[in-house]
Amino acid sequence: MTDTTTTPPEIGGIGHSVKRVEDARLIEGQGNFLDDIALPGMLHMALVRSPVAHARINGIDSDAAMAVDGVLAVVTGELMAAHNLAWMPTLSGDTQAVLATDKVRYQGQEVAAVIATDPYAAADGAELVEVDYDMLDAITNPQQSLAEGAELIRDEKEGQTDNLAYTWETGDEAATEAAFAGADRVVSLTTHYPRSHPSPLETCGIVADVNSVTGQATIYMTSQAPHAHRTLFALVAGLPEQNIRIVSPDIGGGFGNKVPIYPGYVVATAASLLIGQPVKWVETRTGNLISTGFGRDYYMTGELALSNDGRIQAMRVDMLSDQGAFYSDAQPTRYRAGLFHVCTGSYDFPHAHIKCRGAFTNKAPGGVAYRCSFRITEASYLIERLIQTAAYELGIDPAEMRLRNFIQPEQFPYETATGFVYDSGDYPTALRKALDAAGYDELRAEQAAAREEGRLVGIGIAHFTEAVGAGPAHTYDIAGLKMIDSAELRVHPTGKAILKLGVKTQGQGHETTFAQIVAEETGIPSTDIKVIHGDTDDTPYGLGTYASRSTPVGGAATAMVARKIADKARHIAAHLLEAAPEDIDRDADKFFVKGSPDKSVTIQDAAFAAYTNLPEGMEYGLEDVTYYNPPNLTFPYGSYVVVVDVDADTGVWKVRRMVALDDCGVRINPMIVEGQIHGGLTEGFAMSSMQWITFDDDGNCIGSNFMDYLIPTAWETPRFELLETVTPSPHHPIGAKGIGESATVGSPAAFVNAVVDALAHLGVRNIDMPVLPDRVWEAIDSAGG
Amino acid sequence: MEITVNINGTDHTADVEPRRLLVDHIRTGVGLTGTHIGCDTTSCGVCTVLVDGTPVKSCTMLAVQADGREVTTVEGLKSADGLHPVQQAFSDEHGLQCGFCTPAMMLVGAALIEENPAPSDDEVRWAISGNLCRCTGYMNIVKAIQAAAAAASSDGDG
């Protein structure tokens, strides 16, 4: 492990595996999750969802539902329309139905809501709401959707004459085409990154408490971005922003699923406003899987122009994305395909051109950044699959192929063909270290011997580069809100502190790691710092936690505000030591006159003096706030090596080893970083092996519960071997880059590459995810193996 | 229907609808919210409690079926001696992140080490295979349960 610690364990600054503060409540069942909240007079809401994918609504009969004991109201789209709330804006500038008024456009769409005194009564009522539908043909894939004569899904949308949701392109088309025309070889790969769902174990929910007398709206919700949600509530519902308080309590996992605003939130808030009592809505698991933000669903064709010796000269990508019925990707405004243009990956070549079309289908909307920074998972998957394909076609070892094309350490900062400026990296060292740990050369020898015996062994490599920490305000906003973030630090007279954040944990351990940043910068022990987050009345503004932006943006804000505090403390210490501020030095937690460490002032002494004994002209108190606008994204990377054994008779594959080297810059808390990597690798394994949301031809969602949507248990999940290198980000105050999503982004290609590698000698080049045994068997069978 | 369920050592008598799920009775009837709800189909296991010492998914048991039985929830793990070894080990080994599956995982772990004082990696993984976790990748949960087993054994020896 690389040692980056500068403080002793009792201070617990950067580099210490400090035990988590949040554990104390969670291991005793004292967490406060959304469904644990109970307010006096609280009512319960259940949603009526469409059982069909595409149909016109003729009418809704609520009589039987209203007759259920305990049911107080049935809210329909008509009622919402009377308050101008039947439709709401999405995070991608489209509009989405809150409760359907004209027709339903996907199975599971919200049609009505039943409000009752008890959740069982609400569910009974929802069963009895009768909706009269006129069936329409369902369109279940984007190819069908964009075909001539396809039924118009978004017939309500002014000016919409087809099912095209958007088009987007980037890069230099002419230069790219010229490079392809002159290339020795062109290698291509067509693959589908299937629809997946983040499905945190806690579903989405809200307790809306709107006081009709004071106008105060206190909204408890499962929100990864409480401040952004407050502003959007103000803009959509017309509520005055000072009267909206969003409280995001303990969150049972987010993974991007809790970034959008969902219809249930809006209906519950409206119902509380109309009825004058708090209203709770907690999504069912099926509701979560069939209606809230999915991830991926990209059909991709990628091509590389290559020289005969394996040098990449250009990349060309054509994509088609399945957006579902509403375009509601949660992503920066100017990038319609998220940050997909990071698809040039870790490689040095001058030209790329990417074009993408998004299509409406009769499927749930979403397109959230499922444990990834806006479509980076798809991008990383494509280039890492493509380079392996190229290696086979050119007869070059896949590891050697990467080494020949890597951006070299001395090239950083490196501007990619699509305009990202990578901050730092040493890719060859990382890959070689991972290969050595895996015993790559021995594995290749074993593979060759195994093939002689008719056994299938595969070695898969992925070397990914992420672009996280959105982002610089000149480029990045969501729904017009710039993607800055903030931290406020108050040091009390006894030297204990409160740190307030604009970001919000969902299990990443902010209450521990952000305190460590303050400890590093001020010398206040991390255990003396309470971290507050998630309550918009009590924290400074920020865009929230997703896209691995907490440490790159919120963590930077924390370091910067702590430096302001430390600097004021230094001036106070100078006053106490009767010296000039510029003559004051500091070690972990003490100030002293340079050269005289015997006489010192602790940070706690300085804090007390901040309220009792100040130099002339200095303002009382020891607190400050910083809003951080990052100068650039950060670019974590990693080298993953997977070894699989494939049973040729059944297509079943097993992970023998998974070696994962991550470089996320400086690690604040190594224990927590490794935990994040374990989780991310598991989700990558899940997507590559079993997790997908599919639909039948009528638009019925297959994968609407955890019996059909498979999530790996401990039994299937591989064991992981972790490695690291540390290449600090030069522009981040503490050199950190973000780690929450790296492993989910990087690992799917490594797993799939491993299975394909086992079959490569048969001529197999691709198996789409999830790599199910029957797909493997078919690949072997059709290759004549 | 009137039932009496002993939860964490205390009898709770209540009049419940026959269809009421045990998990709802524990959470809203008795007010112990450490037991969670995650899937509605007995798949995820976050609602796991111990009924007479055996792990049971409380979303798939009716409250009336628990009449006269002893239920242990996460709130009952801690004793006068302090945290249960699994609680301490989950924190020490970073066996939890968001904490939503944690109460159930700890209860399954506690039940396992009662039966098997030194479970192997595979034995722990099999025991918790009815409980999903989306955050940890299970590595540290397995480590935590094994560490708890070791701690419990050494306590017993001492």
| Residue of B16, B39, B128 to mutate when probing chain A, most A C-beta within 10 A | B39
- Please say whether the structural domain A34-136+203-251+258-291 has been given the CATH code 3.90.1170.50: yes
B7 and B30 housed in the same domain: yes
B89 and B71 housed in the same domain: no
Domain with residue B70: its CATH number is 3.10.20.30
B58 and B100 housed in the same domain: no
Q: How far is CA B152 from CA A496, A583, B75, B114, B158, in A?
A: 36, 55, 19, 9, 10
Structure tokens at A469: 């920490």
Query: What is the Cα–Cα distance from A221 to A258, expressed in whole angstroms?
Result: 9
In degrees and rounded to multiples of 5, residue A583 shows phi and psi of -95, 5
Does the fold of domain A298-409+423-470+632-782 match that of domain A23-31+485-628?
yes
Nearest to A303 by CA among A181, A422, A146: A181
Residue at A229: amino acid letter: H
Nearest to A22 by CA among A250, A304, A209: A250
Quote the DSSP letter at residue A240. -
Q: Do A706 and B141 touch (CB under 8 A)?
A: no
- Is A508 within 8 Å of chain B by CB? yes
Determine the 3-state secondary structure of A495 from DSSP.
Answer: coil
B12 and B58 housed in the same domain: yes
- Is A297 within 8 Å of chain B by CB? no
Whether B134 and A711 have beta carbons less than 8 Å apart is answered as: yes
Listed in sequence order, the residues at least 6 apart from B54 whose beta carbon sits closer than 8 Å to its beta carbon are: B111
- Computed on alpha carbons and rounded to an integer, the radius of gyration of chain A in Å comes to 27
pLDDT per position as a tens digit, A730-743: 999 999 999 999 99
Contacts of B40 in chain A (CB under 8 A): 284-286, 705
Strands A351-360 and A312-324 come out as parallel
Structure tokens at A757: 């590698």
B49 and B94 housed in the same domain: no
**A70: cis peptide before it, omega within 30°?**
no
- The domain segmentation of chain A, as residue ranges, is 23-31+485-628, 34-136+203-251+258-291, 298-409+423-470+632-782
B6 and B72 housed in the same domain: yes
Weakly modelled stretches of chain A, pLDDT under 70: 1-4, 785
> How many separate domains does chain B show?
2
pLDDT at residue B41 tops 50: yes
Q: Look at residue A784 in the predicted model and tell me its pLDDT.
A: 83
Mean pLDDT of B122-130: 98
Q: Look at residue A738 in the predicted model and tell me its pLDDT.
A: 95
* 3.30.70.2740, 3.40.50.300, 3.30.365.10, 3.10.20.30: CATH of A23-31+485-628: 3.30.365.10
B45, with CB counted inside 10 A (0-12, 13-18, 19+), is buried
Which residue of B lies nearest to A670 if distances are taken between CA atoms?
B94
B108 and B126 housed in the same domain: yes
pLDDT at residue B156 tops 70: no
Among A230, A296, A357, A371, the one annotated catalytic: A371
Whether A497 and A528 have beta carbons less than 8 Å apart is answered as: yes
Q: Look at residue A340 in the predicted model and tell me its pLDDT.
A: 96
Task: Clarify whether A143 is annotated catalytic.
Answer: no
Query: What is the Cα–Cα distance from A573 to A203, expressed in whole angstroms?
Result: 50
Quote the distance between the C-alpha of residue A296 and its chain's center. 12
pLDDT at residue B158 tops 50: no
B91 and B31 housed in the same domain: no
CATH number for the segment(s) A298-409+423-470+632-782:
3.30.365.10
Listed in sequence order, the residues at least 6 apart from B27 whose beta carbon sits closer than 8 Å to its beta carbon are: A35, A36, B33, B35, B37
B60 and B89 housed in the same domain: no
> In angstroms, what separates the C-alpha of A727 from chain B's closest C-alpha?
25
Q: Which of B42, B76, B110 is the last residue of a domain?
A: B76
Which residue of B lies nearest to A36 if distances are taken between CA atoms?
B33
Domain with residue B139: its CATH number is 1.10.150.120
User: Which 5-24 residues of chain B touch chain A by CB within 8 A?
Assistant: 17, 19-20, 24
Q: Do B100 and A675 touch (CB under 8 A)?
A: no
Whether A576 and A608 have beta carbons less than 8 Å apart is answered as: no
pLDDT per position as a tens digit, B52-61: 999 999 999 9
Q: Which of B76, B105, B129 is the last residue of a domain?
A: B76
Q: How many CA atoms lie within 13 A of A276 on its CB side?
A: 3
Q: Which of B76, B101, B133 is the last residue of a domain?
A: B76
Query: What is the Cα–Cα distance from A210 to A219, expressed in whole angstroms?
Result: 8
Domain of B99 in residue numbering reads as: 85-157
- Is B142 within 8 Å of chain A by CB? yes
Q: How far is CA A646 from CA A191, A399, A481, A716, in A?
A: 21, 21, 49, 15
Query: What is the Cα–Cα distance from A626 to A645, expressed in whole angstroms?
Result: 52
Within 10 angstroms of residue A211's Cβ, the number of other Cβ atoms is: 15
Mean pLDDT of B89-117: 98
In degrees and rounded to multiples of 5, residue A761 shows phi and psi of -70, -15
Query: What is the Cα–Cα distance from A770 to A689, expressed in whole angstroms?
Result: 5
Residue at A260: amino acid letter: P
Q: Look at residue A461 in the predicted model and tell me its pLDDT.
A: 98
Q: How far is CA B151 from CA A746, B35, B121, in A?
A: 37, 25, 16
Whether B27 and B44 have beta carbons less than 8 Å apart is answered as: no
